[in-house]
Amino acid sequence: MTYFIPDKLPRLMVAPNGARPMKKDHPEVPVTISETVKTAKLCFDAGAGGIHFHMRDENGQHILDSGLCVEALMELQKQVPKMHLQVTTEAVGKYSPDIMRKLAYEVKPPGISIGIREMIPSRQPSLEDIKLYKYLTENGTKIQHICYGPEDLDLLYDLIQKTNLSKNDVWCMFVIGHYSGKVSNPNNISPFLEKLKTLEINADWAVCAFAKEEVPCLKMAIKLGGKIRVGFENSILMPDGKIAPNNEAKVKAVNTFFN
């Protein structure tokens, strides 16, 4: 399977399901492959250039399953051949770095998100970590490094140095706030950018944020030259504060922020 690999991080990606939202939270959370594919097509038509998706098991729970990921990627590529497809290695407190690495090696996806502090909890990149990042890069996989705080960029810098990878066009996702209730503050974006400048990392970066504070963060990211990710993984609210009918409505609404 030959996947679409963009040169640049899409300016708007959709994260339609995440690891935690369930049908009880919103009936339009896609939990099956067919639902995810349908959502992807609708969101692509609404303006999303990429999709960050999670696989779910028969009970709707987040699962790192290589077979399901490959099946989903094949179906997505058929339906949205010009959409960047990004799988996740999110640990959600139950998957070890070994399992995260195993998924990456077995799937060889066009795009993958890796929470760098989850993959390298010791904050000391091991030979296994170096091998993985080199392998993915050489395979053509676009890695988006998930950073929960500016200090994660120090770890990323160390990894870049030890893998001899380029500091140019590094894809990052800055997580502003937290699903558990930590408030998303748009002023928390600038410290990431200051750290990038200090470390001389030329990043292609995006922001995701949560709940009712999501919109100010997205607008600030765009103002500062960044990109954005939206979807039910982060918030089920529309910019006006009402419950979104579906993911594609959110995508269509926030796409206007670039105008």
Residue pLDDT, tens place only, 89-147:
999 999 999 999 999 999 999 999 999 999 999 999 999 999 999 999 999 999 999 99
Which residues fall within 8 angstroms of residue 22, CB to CB, at 6 or more apart?
29, 31, 60
Q: Which residue has the tokens 């995440």?
A: 18
Residues written for the chain: 259
The secondary structure of 35-71 as a DSSP string is HHHHHHHHHHHHT-SEEE---B-TTS-B---HHHHHH
Does residue 80 surpass a pLDDT of 80? yes
Task: Write down the pTM of the prediction.
Answer: 0.97
At residue 111, the pLDDT reads 98
Gap between the Cα atoms of 38 and 208, Å rounded: 22
The secondary structure of 125-187 as a DSSP string is --HHHHHHHHHHHHHT-EEEEEESSTHHHHHHHHHHHHHT--SEEEEEEEEES-TTS----GG
At residue 181, the pLDDT reads 73
More confident residue, 82 or 2: 82
Gap between the Cα atoms of 130 and 142, Å rounded: 16
At residue 258, the pLDDT reads 97
Query: Is there a contact between 152 and 117 (Cβ–Cβ < 8 Å)?
Result: yes
Phi and psi dihedrals of 49, rounded to 5? Answer: -90, -10
Mean pLDDT, the chain, as a whole number?
A: 97
